[in-house]
Amino acid sequence: MTIKQTKNVILIIVKTIFNNENNKMSETIVLGGGCFWCVESVYQNVGGVEAVESGYAGGNTDNPTYEQICTGRTGHAEVVKVTFDPAKVSLTEILEVFFIASHDPTTLNRQGNDVGTQYRSIILWNSEQQLETAKTVIDKLNTDNVFNGKIVTELKELTDYYKAEQYHQNYFKRNPMQPYCLFSIPPKLSKLKKYFPEKALA
């Protein structure tokens, strides 16, 4: 092997290690807690969260549209895909925000006036570690009687995920005067600030 070939091999190894380390820095989990505009807004204000994307998951319809989701017959829930840096915010903290600040996990197939399976509380895990962490957080919240009722959040392995239409992305940021959002989102952000002051960005 020539010196040039050796250098190229070393460069490839270094790049591989660097890319692997970068990949380890971020983790993704898919969460559903009612209208995705609301849940998206909460996580966009959590320190350590790198990206939030609204989508559909948990059902059996390929490439669903928002109109199909609204019928409640696709099996899918409105969800957000949360990408975060575990060095800055742990999965446990992400899930605590999910349960305490983003929605009511004790109501089955509804959030407020939004009724239907598309609004169900659901965690779509992509690793056994995520599943076990979710179970641990749920058990603790139930044991501590944090809510008036028991948590009914569905735990399901993530199989298919579909990004929602572009007009749903960053919805509250682009539509700050939308009446539904003005009614629903500020109380959730207030909970975020109250219960997670060290993580709330605004």
Whether the CB-CB separation of 91 and 128 falls below 8 Å is answered with no
Report yes or no on 187 lying in a domain. yes
In a domain, 8, yes or no: no
In a domain, 202, yes or no: no
Residue 84 lies in a domain: yes
pLDDT of 75-125, one tens digit each?
999 999 999 999 999 999 999 999 999 999 999 999 999 999 999 999 999
Instruction: Please provide the average confidence, as pLDDT, over all residues in the chain.
Output: 92
pLDDT bracket for residue 11 (50, 70, 90): very low
- The catalytic position among 35, 38, 70, 181 is 35
Is 201 part of a structural domain of the chain?
Answer: no
Rounded Cα distance between 201 and 43, Å, is: 10
Residue 3 lies in a domain: no
Note the pTM of the prediction, 2 decimals: 0.87
CB atoms within 10 A of CB 60: 10
162 in any annotated domain: yes
Structural domain of 50: 26-195
What is the per-residue pLDDT for 180? 97
Q: What's the domain count of the chain?
A: 1
Indicate which CATH number applies to the domain containing 68: 3.30.1060.10
Q: How far apart are CA 23 and CA 25, in angstroms?
A: 5
Is 35 an annotated catalytic residue?
yes
Does residue 21 fall inside a structural domain?
no
